[in-house]
Structure 1
Amino acid sequence: MNFRPLLLAFFASFLFLFLQDRPCQAAKEFGTSYDIIYNVETDGITRTSQTINLTNKLDHVFATEYQVIIGSTSIEKVTANDNYGELEPKVENKDNATIINLEFDKKMIGKDKTRTIHLTYQTPDFATIKGKVLEVGFPILTNSNDLEEYSVSIRIPDSFGQPTQFIPTTYQGSQLANYQVFNFTKADLEGSDGITATFGTSQIYNFVIRYHLQNKEEIKGRAELALPNDTNYQTVLYQEIKPKPLSVNVDADGNWLAEYIVEPGQSQTIEAQGSIRLNYFPKENFAKNLTSEQKRQYTKSDVYWESSSQTVEQIAKDLQTPKEIYDYLISNFIYDYGRLETNPERLGAAKALQNPDNAICMEFTDAFIALARSAGIPAREHNGFAYTENDRLRPLSLSQDVLHAWPEYYDETAKQWIQIDPTWGNTTGGLNFFDKFDLDHISFVTHGTESSYPVTVGSYKTDDSQGKDVAIEFGDKFEPKESYELLISNLPSGLAGLPVEGEILISNTGNVALYDLPVVVNLSKNGQQQIEKDYSIAVLPPFATYTFHYSQKTNWQTDGGSYQLNVSVLEAQQSQNFELKTIINPTYLVWIGGGAFGSLLWFIGFSIAIKKISKPKTLIPPIGNDPSQQIPLNH
């Protein structure tokens, strides 16, 4: 009886191997052992060597050929031999796969007879060198329980350094010449879908981004632009923003919002250049407990995140952890590549769960957030850039800016937001984007308190703007410079009895954000300390100015004298002296005070009048934020 074992290797993000064609019967007819060596070179090419032992368990059953199907067309330099000498592999590319067929010229007949097959080939698909990082993923046999022996050895050049993370985590390490060797046994690989690892703890990208604004109104217009901002996984460095923003504010989700004024009937393009450093692990200084209000905000139902809908609640009742929700989505949703060719509508979670065959990254993300929130798990969304070299495994839209959406959930134990990507977990055939994230996701904006605002870069278009507005490339240098300016203004000398008012301005003049800045304000009179107050600025983004409005009541009888206001921020100090004159005659004071008060009222009234005339109109939605202009997140 002739029998042809079939080894099918399905390549998703990397290669996944599994036996097909009567596996149960094959286990009865053949004893099989596997020894695989993956040798990664410094150029990213992996040279693979597989030793397969097929032992006959029956006298009348023998193998006549062996077939390997690899889900990649990038398989080269295939060689094979067995006990009797060289074999002539027949290699065919079909349906985005490589089929290697080995025909045996001589029969191996008899119980306990063993045919040993040596198969070698090379491919660029197992390892990817991206900037300063090496990412690797290797196939394993999913039916390894049917194998009598099974081992995998991975060899990585020393030049890539130590691994940041390995999955599975159990292995035996050794050294072979200039290679690190990671050995896995059958027991080590039990329950695993594949072997993945990252070498390198951070990645640097350079970026150039543009925002196009257009004011079609007859009055000044105000625009609020979301600049790429720091998260617990990334640090953003700005070399230049042209023109500079009027202000930069931080919203409840940590987004950096730059303010611009556009004249009536005018258009304006803002260009920002800089670098982003991605961290493999969340930054410790971002670990914080959520307040009760934040928990309420991040578990509420919202547009596109219909956590209280019947559809969502029905599914969520059986999914109580982030991992269960992630697994549900990658198992039940089907990525709809056809929607990449259109301008797809954002379906929202409820509709996506009702139509799981039509999902793209928006639906994977919205569904995760809604299901998590329904289960009481705080969850948010990231919009941004996703680096990929394979648009089938990690799909994207090539016709416009490469935008992507992925969710994050709050881990109560770690006190951190944990980013995951169920979309890529699905499209890569099961590559783990839950326990192990990557250095490919750059966040441009975070949605938590609102499901669609602020709008990400790439969506600010005008009638005349064409082409892509997001350019990303790998970088080599990341040189943060922390600096700031301290200024005390509007503290004129005056009369005791009137309030002393002024402003303390702290401006970030560096290229990265400043965190937890301590501010100490000290007021002394005639050399004696009167007041000392401590403040802290949680975050001060580049180009931002934090303003303390200083106001101190004074008594007309007792507060005359020489004053000094001292302000310190870390090692920087600024002082300003002023005099308060005491008026002896109360009647004179009333007359002066009344006049001053009248002047003050006139000044305030004048200021308000000016503001009413000159305050720019905030277009609804603000300039550049029209949802009809937004680039959909297509991948």
Structure 2
Amino acid sequence: GDDLSYSWIIDNNQYSNKESFSYYFDKQGEYEVILVVSDGEDSSEATSTVQVAEIDLPVHAIQHDFTVEIEYTLINNGPGSLRDIECFMRIPQTYYPFQIINNYTPSILNTDEVFDKNWNLLIHFQFEDELFEGESLTASVETDVTLYEFNYEDIEIRSIESSNLSYDEGDEDLKIYTTDDLFIDSDNPKIYNTAKSLIKDETRPIEIAKILYNYVVRNLYYDFPRAEEEDYEFLYASEILERRKGVCADYAILYTALLRSAGIPARLAAGIPVYTILFEEEKEIDVGHAWVEVKLPGYGWIPIDITVEDNFMSENYYLDITTEKGPGYLYKNTTMDPWSYYYDGFFFSWDGTEIPEIEQEFYFRVINLDLEDIILD
């Protein structure tokens, strides 16, 4: 058929002509969202109403405004030149009340936005020039962010009050985020039996999440040699349970699997560890970080950085910036459905039969924030 055209209209203002795009509602109110799709002859229109309201969040936050730079570099060691060069770069979106993205600026103009199946945002760079042997090129984005140190208000009281709370009937997250997934083998007997033996007769979601958190923290040790490996292989939660050691991704995978096995919605999250970066002399690192998001009655989806091994739901001053939610980073570049995921990094073509040797480098930098700006007890 003919190519389709798209028009997004929010409160009588047109914002995008792409199939999908991100939009941040920064004020309370009721918004009418219209999508018009046309093939040049016929058109179809869909309308929806979005209600934005302030809610009483159980989070006390201390605000920080600063800039994060994400930089990817492609180095061509030859033989030959690279052409048709593209780059996909994951960048953060607004997830209120934990992070707000005020603006982002790509290093080149020829970019567009794409989303993966979990609605994570990627900037798609396209380069017109060839990259000759011995040369390199860089794609980068500067993002102005508002991030928060936070703690959960009245946690002891809310835990008691939440004892009678349950998930909403028909909550889709209970279907999506309590089943097994790649490496998250929550249906494995080792995972299920471990969770069951720990929980016993406990039914309160917050208490269940706390019990499983404490188990992982007390029984898993950080695997420093594994952390030094550039391309370590991911492990299934049941394997991590037996090894009793791991890196941040292992902590997150195991905790997520245990939660799901117990009927608590949980998902992986990954991104930029700002607090860790501030300890570096140049305030830059070349590795990301992984943690868990848990959905709890009375709180909604909250981030839990289990690798730090603090007390459950204690004060969080780590300023982790989420660039990805869901299991996408666990999938390799070849899948049964390669169009379901976009992968970070550069893609290109070349002439000849010999594949050029290339290097890809990734850096996260923090600008206008120092370690002494973080408020610690």
Give me the TM-score of the superposition, normalised by structure 1. 0.36
Q: Give how far 1:331 is off.
A: 0.8
* 1:135-154 map, 5 Å: none
1:304 to 183, 186, 206: 183
* Residue 156 (structure 2) pairs with residue 277 (structure 1): no
2:302 to 415, 418, 421: 418
CA contact (8 A) 2:270 2:324 kept: yes
Structure 1 461/444 Cα, relative in aligned 2: closer, same or farther at 3 Å?
Answer: farther
From the two aligned structures, give the one with the greater strand fraction.
1
Q: Give how far 1:369 is off.
A: 0.8
Classify the secondary structure of the residue corresponding to 1:469: strand
Aligned partner of 2:147: which letter? L
Structure 1 238/214 Cα, relative in aligned 2: closer, same or farther at 3 Å?
Answer: farther
Aligned partner of 1:272: which letter? V
Runs (5+) with no aligned partner, structure 2: 1-57, 153-166, 200-207, 333-340, 349-356, 371-377
Q: Take 1:337 and 1:380, find their aligned partners in 2: how far apart are those partners?
A: 24
Q: Take 1:322 and 1:460, find their aligned partners in 2: how far apart are those partners?
A: 39
* Residue 252 (structure 2) pairs with residue 365 (structure 1): yes
CA contact (8 A) 1:220 1:262 kept: yes
Runs (5+) with no aligned partner, structure 1: 1-164, 167-197, 426-430, 477-635
Classify the secondary structure of the residue corresponding to 1:202: strand
Higher relative contact order by CA 8 Å / sep ≥ 6: 1 or 2? Answer: 2
CA contact (8 A) 2:277 2:366 kept: no
1:206 to 50, 67, 74: 67
* Residue 235 (structure 2) pairs with residue 351 (structure 1): no
CA contact (8 A) 2:88 2:122 kept: yes
Aligned partner of 1:471: which letter? R
Counting matched residue pairs gives 264
Q: Take 1:350 and 1:373, find their aligned partners in 2: how far apart are those partners?
A: 13
* Residue 303 (structure 2) pairs with residue 409 (structure 1): no
Aligned partner of 1:208: which letter? E
Partner of residue 366, structure 2: 472
Q: Take 2:347 and 2:198, find their aligned partners in 1: how far apart are those partners?
A: 40
Aligned partner of 2:363: which letter? D
Cα deviation, 1:394-427, whole Å, max 9, x if unaligned, reads 99xx99514211111112333x2111122111xx
CA contact (8 A) 1:301 1:370 kept: yes
Select the structure of larger CA radius of gyration.
Answer: 1
Q: Give how far 1:342 is off.
A: 2.5
Q: Give how far 1:359 is off.
A: 1.3
Aligned partner of 1:349: which letter? A
From the two aligned structures, give the one with the greater helix fraction.
2
Aligned partner of 1:346: which letter? F
Q: Give how far 1:275 is off.
A: 2.0
CA contact (8 A) 2:275 2:318 kept: no
Aligned partner of 2:143: which letter? G
Q: Take 2:127 and 2:144, find their aligned partners in 1: how far apart are those partners?
A: 27
Classify the secondary structure of the residue corresponding to 1:228: coil
2:269 to 382, 395, 418: 382
Aligned partner of 1:378: which letter? P
Aligned partner of 2:175: which letter? R
Query: Root-mean-square deviation (CA), in Å?
Result: 4.2
2:91 to 215, 222, 227: 227
Q: Take 2:212 and 2:362, find their aligned partners in 1: how far apart are those partners?
A: 34
Classify the secondary structure of the residue corresponding to 1:383: strand
Q: Take 1:323 and 1:300, find their aligned partners in 2: how far apart are those partners?
A: 20
Aligned partner of 2:235: which letter? L
| Same amino acid, percent of matched pairs | 23
Cα deviation, 1:318-337, whole Å, max 9, x if unaligned, reads 34521111000001111122
CA contact (8 A) 1:221 1:261 kept: yes
Partner of residue 243, structure 1: 108
Partner of residue 437, structure 1: 316
Q: Give how far 1:377 is off.
A: 1.3
Aligned partner of 2:140: which letter? E
Classify the secondary structure of the residue corresponding to 1:363: helix
Structure 1 399/208 Cα, relative in aligned 2: closer, same or farther at 3 Å?
Answer: closer
Classify the secondary structure of the residue corresponding to 1:201: strand
Q: Take 1:252 and 1:293, find their aligned partners in 2: how far apart are those partners?
A: 16
